[in-house]
Structure 1
Amino acid sequence: MKRLLIAILLLSSFAAAAPRPNIIVILADDMGFSDLGCYGGEIQTPNLDKLAAEGMRFSQFYNCALCGPSRAALMTGLHPHQVGMTQWTGLLTNNCVTMFEVLKRADYTTCAVGRLDMLTAEDWHDPQNLSHHVDRYFGTTGHQGPGNYFANTRNTAFYRDGKPYTIPDGGYKTDLITDFTIEFLQQRDQAKPFLLYMSHYAPHWPLHAKEADIAKYRKLYRDLGWDAAREQRLKRLVESGILPADTKLSPREARAAAWSEAEHLDWEAERMAVFAAQIDSLDQSVGRVMEAVRDTNTLVFFLSDNGASDKAVGQLDKPGQTWRVDGKSTRVGNKPDIMPGPGDTFVTAGPAWSNVSNSPFRLHKQSNHEGGISSPLIAWWPGVVPAGKISPEVSHITDITATVFDVTGQTYPSAFDNRVVAPLAGKSLLPVLKGGTRDGHESLCWATSGCKAVRVGDWKLVALPGKPWELYDLKMDRTELNDLAPQQPERVAAMAKVFEAWQKK
């Protein structure tokens, strides 16, 4: 009996001392719902496809439609308007705490690469403040405009562990931040768990990529075009079980001609070839990182901050001052005489190809229709997350934060230093990751760039800036084609009240 008691006590102590997992969060920038192979895309993403096959994909995961709001929500677990983040970038208010701040004090080694937005509620533009909470970091600490994949620009401050950094000749940002990540993984204290945040620049414009990656896609998109690409993506999404069989394809983007009638097809195909190359390079990065952590106790999340962008950019060089620090001029514009790819150009994918990336949904980044807020989410944690499962759980980017706190054993604080912290908005996904269920959100709301939306159950109310509410039954109409608002004014009014109450939080 005594031996049995000792054995039970030993087992209990071992269970209590179970090692805390490493956490890796990989965030793509401006990547659409169906750009990955494992989400119906034709882009070659074997490493992310493998991650999905060994882990879990989510079919109804939402971000916040825009880079700043999504990053604020991811770092804090609060809704963007609660922490003052209503624009594409900015500083957090004093009523929150970030996962870096909490896990650093919980004796996690912390590392961040790429876009270093909102890692702390202190002024994160200042590298000294980042150093309080992030052990290793490499990337940009705030933007006054877009960056360049091949060169330093005047409106982005680049740092490596607190010291100014210049992109070397031949350097490419996706490769550089991956090299730094591998260095961190090799040099870290193996006795301590780590939090790694890879906030990729890709595939956000400008369309910059390496020639070897672009070459894989030129003929593909010249032959395929945007109409066939959208149709084939939906077909694969249905075949894979991510979307139901009766899902209808949203109409072609209104600003795009039929591919058979479009002009400058070589240039148009090159735009998407470069965009695909950026995602291809990102996938290569994921492969290198996964090779370094494959046999460790690590939870990995992969997601995107918003849907693909339909926007263009104006002139960057100014009289007497180039956009690039090295003095080289930049050719800017979505014009057929500017072929995208090299670092002396600035071209964007445009609405027709953004429409492909967000297939089969409507609209683009910044909108609160499904094309703006629907994101892939892949979760990987061998031995915990069942392989190959697709979860229909309606989930939100704030849930990632809540899950990180849950699996690392951290209680979300009500106060941090001199801050009074607002209650956590996200809900842990751990029960879902284990193959079970959870008590989900009663409602989810969005407010981005004048757009607004609220989802309650399968019903979604959504509006464009200055436009009336539209109402959709997402169980029957995920692509938001049949507006039921005129037939159901009572439901519209009730859901609008839910949105108004959320806005006041």
Structure 2
Amino acid sequence: MIRFVLAFVFTVASTVGVSSQANDRPNIVVIVCDDLGFSDLGCYGGEIETPNLDRLASNGLRFTDFHNNAKCSETRASLLTGLWHQQSKNLKLPGNVTLAEVLRDSGYSTMMSGKWHLAGHPLDRGFDRYFGFLSGAANFFTGQDWESGQNLMRLDREVFEVPGDFYTTDAFTDYAIKFIDQARTKNRPYFLYLAHNAPHFPLHALPDDIAKYRGRYDVGWDEIRERRFRRQQKLGIVDQTWSLSARDPKLEPFSTLTQSQKEFLIPMMEVYAAMVDRLDQNVGRLVSDLQEHGDLDNTVILFFSDNGACPYNRMKTPNIGPGPADSNYAYDARWANMCNTPMRLYKQYAHEGGSLTPLIAHWPAAIKQPGGLTNSTHHIVDLMPTVIELANGQYPSEREGQPINPSEGISLVPTIRGQAIESRPPIFWEFASNHAIREGNWKLVAERSRDWELYDLSLDRTETNDVSDRYPDVVRRLSQSYNAWAKRVNAKMHPAAKKTKPSKQSQLFDLSKH
């Protein structure tokens, strides 16, 4: 169900022209998954079986400090434009250009398969082909919108009628492979944006995939968090600056649950794991197709998630357990806290649990030490300058007479090549009044309705020791920088965010009923 997280396939560009560069410039495949936790993949410490992504990691590069915007649409907006999401209002505002538009102008075939969740239509924003659904969540078996029940599935601009054997993760990959096959006939490089909805709720998975995980989560979230953290230490994902954050104080120890409460909660994680497993299977299908056609070596794959694990409880079908098409569940903060091991908090928050994502880069032509790790700090706004460098493209100052906002990121290419990045501009976050600024190793962060917290990430990657009282000058300086940025891009400034009521979206099931 969550077969592709996010893969970028790159090949080096060195000359100008279209057909003459078809075999020189990289194909670009972006795969993004939805609501994946930092520790869910095997190569990031998880127990879920992800052999295909693990293989990409063993032949590629894993990032331990790559960030998104902590929310679905907002991440997609920055991913496509290289701007802070407030600057485009999820593509509702003018003044932006997309990766697809820049790459099509550079001679690439451009294709998208999967979840759009932005204003407009992909074919109006630079894509030659599109298959997927236009909204933010859909039934994995019927393709119907999760809220309205409408059919928002599209093949290009036409309504797509879902067949009886449909499952989104498989179908998105089917069309991605079809589009690539068509693009190969054009003697030009291609760009694929594959946006999976897995493992976003509703928790839907195929019976054979679910069966693999029956019983694996019976030990509960506390024990599995410990196991994941030990594996992360062994893999080198975490070092001495990463402590295992305490269990979210809202959550009870797993050992205190009754048997009926465990039987209510455990199947949700089993189905979630099955969704991640199915995502990995589909990553394998795509990579196999690239390899069979001789494209893989000329491809860079970047795989990541749109935000951290999701804490939103959901149970619309109490008489039908999670998994089948007529069920409607999301797990709550209990399992999300585990999936984000070793971080605090979740999707929507500016803390690391909201924005830190696995990123796997696969590019045989450039990665000098396959299987390595990098702690270079990056954000999804960095994809635009990365693509431009790899495709020998040009970021426009205007498009169709409309001025374009300057790109906000830096290229990933030096990091992928193993070169050190001496400095980068600050990174900012703001969604629903949760907000932060990252400057070097300092991170100033606040939940909505609360005051600033300050963390020295060189000593405390998991944000467990607030040092704001010890460094008031740093708090003051970074706060001023954040507010200046917020004013520039029309984000919520700290004083206004502090007056906002606490979020109601980190919810827990009422276990007294079970």
Partner of 2:163: 168
Partner of 1:275: 272
Cα offset, 1:403, TM superposition: 0.5
Cα offset, 1:390, TM superposition: 0.4
Q: 2:388 aligns with which of 377, 388, 405?
A: 405
Instruction: Indicate whether 1:202 and 2:198 are aligned.
Output: yes
SS in 2 for 1:25: strand
Match runs of 1:377-396 below 5 Å = 377-386=359-368, 387-396=370-379
User: Counterpart of 1:361 in structure 2: which amino acid?
Assistant: M
Across the two proteins, how many residue pairs are aligned to each other? 460
Cα offset, 1:12, TM superposition: 9.7
Residues 260 and 19 of structure 1, relative CA distance in 2, 3 Å threshold: same
Asked if the contact 2:180/2:190 (under 8 Å) is kept, the reply is no
Match runs of 1:72-221 below 5 Å = 72-85=77-90, 91-118=91-118, 124-125=120-121, 129=124, 133-143=126-136, 146-153=137-144, 154-155=149-150, 157-190=152-185, 191-221=187-217
Cα offset, 1:162, TM superposition: 1.7
Asked if the contact 2:386/2:412 (under 8 Å) is kept, the reply is yes
Instruction: Indicate whether 1:357 and 2:357 are aligned.
Output: no
Partner of 1:322: none
Moved more, 360-369 or 227-236: 227-236
Partner of 1:19: 24
Cα offset, 1:445, TM superposition: 1.0
Deviations 1:140-191 (A, max 9, x none): 1234xx3110114234511012210122112111011111112222232341
Partner of 2:287: 290
Shift >4 Å, 4+ stretches: 11-14
Asked if the contact 1:29/1:305 (under 8 Å) is kept, the reply is yes
Partner of 1:312: 313
In structure 2, distance between residues paired with 1:26 and 1:128: 18
Residues 116 and 480 of structure 1, relative CA distance in 2, 3 Å threshold: same
In structure 2, distance between residues paired with 1:206 and 1:149: 8
Deviations 1:235-282 (A, max 9, x none): 111111111135211121233221111232123211001011111011
Identity of aligned residues (%): 40
Cα offset, 1:460, TM superposition: 0.7
Cα offset, 1:431, TM superposition: 1.1
Partner of 1:265: 262
Deviations 1:305-326 (A, max 9, x none): 000110124xxxxxxxxxxxxx
In structure 1, distance between residues paired with 2:74 and 2:191: 21
Q: 1:474 aligns with which of 451, 454, 457?
A: 457
Asked if the contact 1:117/1:124 (under 8 Å) is kept, the reply is no
In structure 1, distance between residues paired with 2:124 and 2:84: 23
Asked if the contact 2:133/2:143 (under 8 Å) is kept, the reply is no
SS in 1 for 2:193: strand
Gaps of 5+ in 2: 1-13, 489-514
Residues 213 and 457 of structure 1, relative CA distance in 2, 3 Å threshold: same
Moved more, 178-187 or 282-291: 178-187
Q: 1:332 aligns with which of 316, 322, 339?
A: 316
SS in 1 for 2:58: helix
- What is the TM-score when the length of structure 1 is the normalising length? 0.87
In structure 1, distance between residues paired with 2:272 and 2:160: 26
User: Counterpart of 2:415 in structure 1: which amino acid?
Assistant: V
Gaps of 5+ in 1: 1-10, 86-90, 314-330
Residues 440 and 285 of structure 1, relative CA distance in 2, 3 Å threshold: farther
Taking only aligned residues, the RMSD between alpha carbons, in angstroms, comes to 1.9
Asked if the contact 1:427/1:440 (under 8 Å) is kept, the reply is no
